[in-house]
Amino acid sequence: MTVTGIITAIVVGLIIGALGRLVVPGKQPIPIWLTIVIGIVAAFIGSFIAGALGLATGGGFHIGELILQVVVAALGVFLVTGMYSRRSVRH
């Protein structure tokens, strides 16, 4: 992966993670770096699922793929928030 690809993945991850975080109601006590990681992972998983469902054919922007990525990110934020907050309570 090139430096441009890494920077692009971080920017897309930030956007997808932020959108996923906005979808989840309430306060999420997780750091921004974790939101970015969730967003990057969600972008890859969402793209894979969209491709498998035939929502993302060819190159370019596909709204169905974006929606699926945000849903996966929201699910990731929800799950990680639950685990992160429980971990913080134990200490």
pLDDT tens track for 47-75: 888 888 887 766 667 788 888 888 999 99
Question: CB-based contacts of 80: which residues, under 8 Å, 6+ apart?
Answer: 30, 34, 38
Domain boundary assignment for the chain: 3-84
pTM metric for this prediction? 0.79
Give the number of other CB atoms < 10 A from CB of residue 28.
19
What gap in Å lies between CA 22 and CA 28, rounded to an integer? 10
